[in-house]
Amino acid sequence: MSVDTSVRLPGMPVKNPVMTASGTFGYGLEFSPYGDLRSLGGIVVKGLSLAPRLGNPMPRIAETPCGMLNAIGLQNCGVEKFLRDKLPRLPWRETPIIANLYACDADEFAELAGVLSAEEGVAALEVNISCPNVKAGGIAFGQDPCMAGKLAEAVKKRAGDKPVWVKLSPNVTDIVSIARAAVLGGADALTCINTLTGMSVDIRSRKPRLANVIGGLSGPAIKPVALRAVWQVCQAVSAPVIGVGGIASAEDVLEFILVGAHAVQIGTANFMRPDMAFRIAERLPQLMAELGIEDLASYRGSLRVG
Amino acid sequence: MALSGACRDLTILSVTEAGPEGGAHGCYYIELANPGLGSAVAGQFVMVRPACFGQDPVWPRPFSICRLTPEALTLFVQTCGRGTDVLCRLVPGDTVTVWGPLGQGFGLEPDTPTLMLAGGVGLAPFVEYAATHPAPANLALVFGHRQPLSCYPFAEMANVIGRAEAFQENTPEDLPRFIELLETKVAEYAGGLIVACGPRPFLMTVARLARRFGARAQVSLENRMACGVGGCLGCVEKNALGQYVQTCTQGPVFWVEELQLSEEA
C-alpha cells in the first residue's frame, strides 16, 4: 500500500509532518552527519534574536524521569550571523526552514520579522512567546491573551508573505484563550506546546540543579500534557496546529495527528539519539501502511470520542 | 572509514569489573565489538545509549575512548549514577547504540616531552594516547586516585611509557601533598606539553599551575551533556573572552588559556 505523508500548511506544502523543534536541533547542520536533512518535513532552528545572546549560566540542563529540564536562556548567534553563515548551508529549497523568533517587546519582534521576511530561504516564522528561561518577555507574553494577539499582529504585519506560527506555552490556565487571541492577531498556525516550567534540587548540596533554579521540562514525560493541549486547541481554532511535546516515535506522531495536529516537531528525542527525527520520518509511512492509513488528511482529527 | 557520521548498534563483548577481588569499586571495562571502523584521536569521546534505556534515562552518556582497535572499542567506566549503573550491568550480546568519535582530542607532539596528568577515571583517554603515541618513551604520567591502583589501567600504561607515578588520596590531608607533586611536575614540564583529564577541581589546579609556570597545557572537560553533537547547548564552558564554547564539539579538550575555568561552570 502506498501512502501519502504530505501535509498542506499555510503557504507551505510539506512532504511529511515530521519537523524538528526549536532549540533541540541546533541550526540543523549539527545533525546533518546523522541523516538527510532533506528527508524531514521541516527544520525549526534555534531561537534567534536581533543581537547574539550569551544565555544563562551553567548548569543549564538536568535529567529528570523520562525527561529533562533546561534553562539555556536562548543562547544564539544572532539573526545576522544565522543568515550569513548557517542558512546558506541548509537545504532550504528541499526542506522548509522555519526561523524561531525571540525578542523582548513587540517592536523588536516586528524588526526581527522584517529582517527574516526578506530571506528566500526562510519558509515561515515561528514566534516564541513562551520561553520560560528569559527574564524579559518570554513566557509572560504567552500568558496574556492580549499580549499574545498583539505580538502575533506585530510579526504578521512585517512578515510579508511568510506564514507566521505562534508557539504557545502550556503554563497557562486556559491555552485555548491564548490560541484564539494569537489567531485573531494574525497567526497562520500554532505550535503547541513549549516546555512546562519545573525544577529539580539536590538534597545533599541543598542546591538547585539549574543555575537559573527554574527551567523548562521536556521529553516523553510531558507528552500527555502536549496531547491534551493540542486536542483542546484543535477543537477551538481552525488554524493548523503543529504538535510538540515528548514525541519519540512514529506512533507518537500519529497520536498527535489523531487529535487534530497537521504536523509535529521532534524535540528532546533528538538528544536521545541524533538520528531520531530521521528515523521517525522514515518509519512513519511504514506505520501508516501497517495501519491502513492512506493519507494524513483523512486520519487527522478522527479521534472517536464517546 | 571513521566511526563518525552515524549511530551504530554495537554488541557488548565483555563487561569486566576491575580491581581487587571482593571489593565493589565501581570500575569497569566495557568492550564493544567494532564492526570494522577506523581511528580516533585520543581524547575524543563517544555517546553511548544502551537499547534498554528506552525512554528513561532520556540522555545517552558520553565516555572517553579508552581504546579503539579494529576489533573492539573499549570504555573505562566508573559507576556514578543511573546511566552508568545500567551500562555496567549489561552482558555480552547486549546492544548499545554508539555515535562518534566526537569532539577534539589531545594534541600529540611525538618529539615533545609530554606529561599526562590524570585523576581517577580520567585516566581513560590516556590509554589510547599512550597506545597511539609514536614515541611513548617521551611520555610521563602522574596519576591521582582514590580506589586501589589495580582498579585502573595504570600498570599496562606504566609498561609502555617513559615514567609513571601514582598517588593514592586516602584522606583529605593527602590532597596538599598531591598538589605539591603536581607543582613539581608541571614546573619540570613547563617547556614541554601537558595533557590532563580528571575531575573539575583537579583540572582547575592544573590550569592554575600551568599559568604560573608558563606551561603549554590542555585539559579535557567532563561537562554534563545531553546530545553530544552540539544541539542542546547544555555543556558549554566560558572561554577567556567570556563567550560560551561547546564542550562537545569545540572540546572536550581545550588549551587552558582558552578558558576561564571558573567554579560554577
Model confidence over A185-227: pLDDT tens digits? 999 999 999 999 999 999 999 999 999 999 999 999 999 999 9
- The nearest CA of chain A is from the CA of B78 a distance in Å of 19
Report strand pairing: B8-17 vs B95-102.
antiparallel
Mutation choice for A interface testing from B1, B46, B227 by most A CBs within 10 A:
B227
Q: What CATH code would you report for A7-56+72-196+218-299?
A: 3.20.20.70
pLDDT band at A298 (very low <50, low <70, confident <90, very high): very high
Residues A30, B57: C-beta atoms closer than 8 Å: no
- Cα–Cα distance measured from residue A168 to residue A172, given in angstroms and rounded to the nearest whole number: 9
Q: In chain A, where are the structural domains located? A: 7-56+72-196+218-299
Q: Does A208 touch chain B (CB under 8 A)?
A: no
Domain extent for B61: 8-102
Section B181-210 average pLDDT: 97
Residues B249, A59: C-beta atoms closer than 8 Å: no
pLDDT band at B265 (very low <50, low <70, confident <90, very high): very low
Residue B125 maps to which CATH number?
3.40.50.80
**pLDDT for the residue B21:** 85
As a whole-number percent, the residues of chain A with pLDDT over 70 amount to: 97
As a whole-number percent, the residues of chain A with pLDDT over 90 amount to: 92
**pLDDT for the residue B24:** 85
**pLDDT for the residue B23:** 77
- Cα–Cα distance measured from residue A251 to residue A299, given in angstroms and rounded to the nearest whole number: 13
- Cα–Cα distance measured from residue A43 to residue A74, given in angstroms and rounded to the nearest whole number: 17
**Of B102, B137, B157, at which residue does a domain stop?**
B102
Write down the mean pLDDT value for chain A.
Answer: 95
Catalytic residues of A: 131
**pLDDT for the residue B3:** 44
Section A36-60 average pLDDT: 95
pLDDT tops 90 at residue B110: yes
Write down the mean pLDDT value for chain B.
Answer: 94
- What is the total count of domains within chain B? 2
Question: Is the same domain home to B120 and B84?
Answer: no
Residue B57 has its nearest CB partner, among A26, A31, A63, at A63
- The nearest CA of chain A is from the CA of B89 a distance in Å of 20
CB B198 within 8 A of CB B119: yes
**pLDDT for the residue B5:** 60
Closest CA to B141 of B169, B162, B120, B168: B162
Q: Note the pLDDT tens digit of each residue in B61-71.
A: 999 999 999 99
**pLDDT for the residue A140:** 74
Q: What are phi and psi of A56, to 5 degrees?
A: -85, 160
SS (H, E, C) chain A: CCCECCEEECCEEECCCEEECCCCCCCCHHHHHHCCHHHCCEEECCCECCCCECCCCCCCEEEECCEEEECCCCCECCHHHHHHHHHHHCCCCCCCEEEEECCCCHHHHHHHHHHHHCCCCCCEEEEECCCCCCCCCCHHHHCCHHHHHHHHHHHHHHCCCCCEEEEECCCCCCHHHHHHHHHHHCCCEEEECCCEEEECEECCCCEECCCCCEEEEECHHHHHHHHHHHHHHHHHCCCCEEEECCCCCHHHHHHHHHCCCCEEEECCHHHHCCCHHHHHHHHHHHHHHHHCCCEHHHHCCCCCCC
Residues B6, A34: C-beta atoms closer than 8 Å: yes
Question: Is the same domain home to B127 and B35?
Answer: no
Question: Is the same domain home to B86 and B125?
Answer: no
Residues B58, A211: C-beta atoms closer than 8 Å: no
Q: Note the pLDDT tens digit of each residue in B71-94.
A: 999 999 999 999 999 999 999 999
pLDDT tops 70 at residue B27: yes
Residue B56 maps to which CATH number?
2.40.30.10
Report the DSSP beta bridge partners of residue B116.
Answer: B141, B195
Section B10-37 average pLDDT: 90
- The nearest CA of chain B is from the CA of A271 a distance in Å of 4
pLDDT band at B262 (very low <50, low <70, confident <90, very high): confident
The nearest alpha carbon in chain A to B55 belongs to A66
pLDDT band at A156 (very low <50, low <70, confident <90, very high): very high
Question: Is the same domain home to B182 and B134?
Answer: yes
Residue B50 domain flag = yes
Residue B107 domain flag = no
**pLDDT for the residue A139:** 64
Section B114-131 average pLDDT: 98
Taking the model in full, what pTM does it have? 0.95
pLDDT tops 50 at residue B1: no
E strand intervals along A39-86: 42-44, 61-64, 67-70
Kind and range of the H or E run holding A284? helix A276-291
Mutation choice for B interface testing from A24, A25, A29, A30 by most B CBs within 10 A:
A30
pLDDT tops 80 at residue B156: yes
Q: Note the pLDDT tens digit of each residue in A125-142.
A: 999 987 666 556 556 788
Question: Is the same domain home to B90 and B44?
Answer: yes
pLDDT tops 90 at residue B105: yes
Q: Which residues of A touch B225 (CB under 8 A)?
A: 61
Q: Which residues of A touch B236 (CB under 8 A)?
A: 55, 58, 60, 75
Residues B229, A68: C-beta atoms closer than 8 Å: no
Question: Is the same domain home to B70 and B127?
Answer: no
Q: Does A20 touch chain B (CB under 8 A)?
A: no
Size of interface A-B (CB pairs under 8 A): 104
pLDDT tops 90 at residue B258: yes
- The nearest CA of chain B is from the CA of A170 a distance in Å of 21
**pLDDT for the residue B109:** 97
Residues 242-301 of A with CB under 8 A from B: 248, 268, 270-275
CB atoms within 10 A of CB A290: 11
Section B150-179 average pLDDT: 95
Residue B249 domain flag = no
Residue B231 domain flag = no
